[in-house]
Structure 1
């Protein structure tokens, strides 16, 4: 962990967009940034047109000809196929994602696929051929309107594959945005439930990257900066959607979580979240918020029983200090804090989304094959994963 072993630095790579613009008002730079890459952008947005109306008008005023594609709910392979067809039909030379993780993931997948033949399934992990993308696609720009997924800076698009009842990644360095414009003002007034789910997703990504065996000095810096900010600001933003400082903290933390996960990997929360999201219509962030405490508890317990000298235990303790604000916190104190946070943010149980005990064997079997499980700090058994799910139904 942390990029070193026995005092010797280990080799590592860090992937990120070549340009990141962060701060209140940076959305106004979008037309100028976009003009450097094209003139007819496909603008992929969420369900609500109103939230991006001003940005679309700004693009038009700057002489661009945007073509809008709306994503309703979390993206499926069919969603991407439809958007690719529209981009080709309209002669789009640029893709801009404006919205939450669903819009951004759709946009980056479309940008990667428009210039080349082949179906998206060929590039999917787990259920597809996982073919490497042979080269760059259309330029992709990312403008997040929620603070959680960090999709504006990641190299993968998460897509649902209904026939396989799972969510999987389309992953390539060529999917990284040419520029990410992260404006916390776009998240102002985000509904409490969305704020909670997105914020817990960011927290989970930071925590899982922090204890990942692929962590390095750069991802450690992201996590050490992001975790305390989420801890101090998520409840504030949830209770007051207009708290500008809390919104800025969450947007910054979400960006950091994307950089961290893209370079260090994730863990068992996300390993379970993909199959759960494929089995029932549950928002990804909400699933992560429901699972992060019991999965962390299972990891800590397994480490103490089977690998008591593992460095992840010390890392969980350090994370607990950031989360609780206590310098003497142990890993178990961090687990208790996570449970209390989920309760205070009114996170539901999985049964709210139709998840039943009968789905546990299917979800566990798929989770054990998920790429995210490869970077969990310790392998969890099928029984341990089943117990986690039983506890949150």
Structure 2
């Protein structure tokens, strides 16, 4: 029997309009609150008023883009000056990652870079984090359920994760209504991020019975929901994508990912949007992995299952799901690798860096430089 462990938020509240309980839930965890927020969700202003009425004293940090070392340093300084006793993040994956990093580092000494896996020096161990509450306003990253915070390291042109099981949120409050009306471009990229996380968690070499169950139930439903949202606004599809995003975070945190995320950590370090990168690479990565496994006489059953789920979700039962996915992302205007700032002349160097990324360690097939370069070439 396969041995496994399970890490997940200590508590989860999922449901449409569940945000109404947020202020009371947070006031029970702490009264000196550091709020990390994006700028695009009007509900946050209502939330601030409710926290104040609940007796909380707030300090706010605005998240503007994916966090890098300096953004984390500044936010940690604000949190310490405020003497925060809990951290709340409201926003997309970038805001949640920033809040998660602050909660993890606020009680720890030294610089944030010392806690990242950079070079040969072992990363320092965090002291116990502050209580952390995540309220996502996009459906894609699953950051509300993971143990890592992705941080940009500009001098290395890479994104590196701050990792610790204690970084998993104390409370994940997921209200799908906060994603209603999201722009099509954001919905597409974030949705493809969630689907990629589910698929890579399912086919990776660390999958376990729990993550298998989550992924099997979610991949076809999430794919169908994203297809419906490309056709028009749909409340049920928004609910399904919020669920898929949350479950993808649990899945990746308890199994692993693969070459798509390995390459995304390199390409994203140059500033390109993570979800768009994943969506652009997914079909070619599935094709190359299955091709290599076939040559190595490996087990391709899961890849055939994924192909069927993609075909069903995209409404082309009986056709090739991989080709349907390629057609879907192109038809709906997902940026090409060139649009994302990647030139063909860079493929080999990106492939080499991607092979060394932590996410790649769980890839289901042993890929060499030529194989990884093919993933980029076939997009």
Scaled by the length of structure 1, what TM-score is found?
0.92
1:258 lines up with 2:249 in the alignment: yes
Cα pair distance change 1:78/1:299, threshold 3 Å: same
Q: What are the superposed Cα offsets for residues 160-198 of structure 1, whole Å, 9 maximum, x if unpaired?
A: 100001111111001010010000000001110000000
* Structure 2 residue matching 1:316: 3-state secondary structure: helix
* Structure 1 residue matching 2:57: 3-state secondary structure: coil
Q: Which of 52, 77, 81 matches 1:85?
A: 77
Q: Which of 358, 366, 376 matches 1:379?
A: 366
Q: Which of 281, 298, 309 matches 1:291?
A: 281
Cα contact 1:95–1:139 (8 A) shared by 2:
yes
Q: What are the superposed Cα offsets for residues 319-373 of structure 1, whole Å, 9 maximum, x if unpaired?
A: 22222229x979x923222212212321111111322123223322211111111
Provide the rounded CA distance (Å) in 2 between the counterparts of 1:225 and 1:133.
Answer: 36
Cα contact 1:320–1:329 (8 A) shared by 2:
no
Equivalent in the alignment of 1:76: 68
| Unmatched segments (≥5 aa) in structure 1 | 1-8
Equivalent in the alignment of 1:147: 139
| Unmatched segments (≥5 aa) in structure 2 | none
Equivalent in the alignment of 1:282: 272
Deviation (angstroms), 1:48: 2.7
Provide the rounded CA distance (Å) in 1 between the counterparts of 2:41 and 2:150.
Answer: 22
Cα contact 2:27–2:51 (8 A) shared by 1:
no
Number of aligned residue pairs: give it.
Answer: 378
Cα contact 1:96–1:107 (8 A) shared by 2:
yes
Equivalent in the alignment of 1:248: 239
1:231 lines up with 2:246 in the alignment: no
1:113 lines up with 2:105 in the alignment: yes
Equivalent in the alignment of 2:162: 170
Provide the rounded CA distance (Å) in 1 between the counterparts of 2:120 and 2:19.
Answer: 36
Cα pair distance change 1:240/1:275, threshold 3 Å: same
Equivalent in the alignment of 1:4: none
Deviation (angstroms), 1:385: 1.4
1:341 lines up with 2:332 in the alignment: no
- How does 1:45-60 map onto structure 2 within 5 Å? 45-48=37-40, 50-60=42-52
Q: What are the superposed Cα offsets for residues 291-344 of structure 1, whole Å, 9 maximum, x if unpaired?
A: 0011111111111112x2x33x10111122222229x979x9232222122123
Cα contact 2:108–2:127 (8 A) shared by 1:
no
Provide the rounded CA distance (Å) in 2 between the counterparts of 1:130 and 1:226.
Answer: 36
Provide the rounded CA distance (Å) in 1 between the counterparts of 2:278 and 2:372.
Answer: 14
Structure 1 vs Structure 2 CA RMSD: 1.9
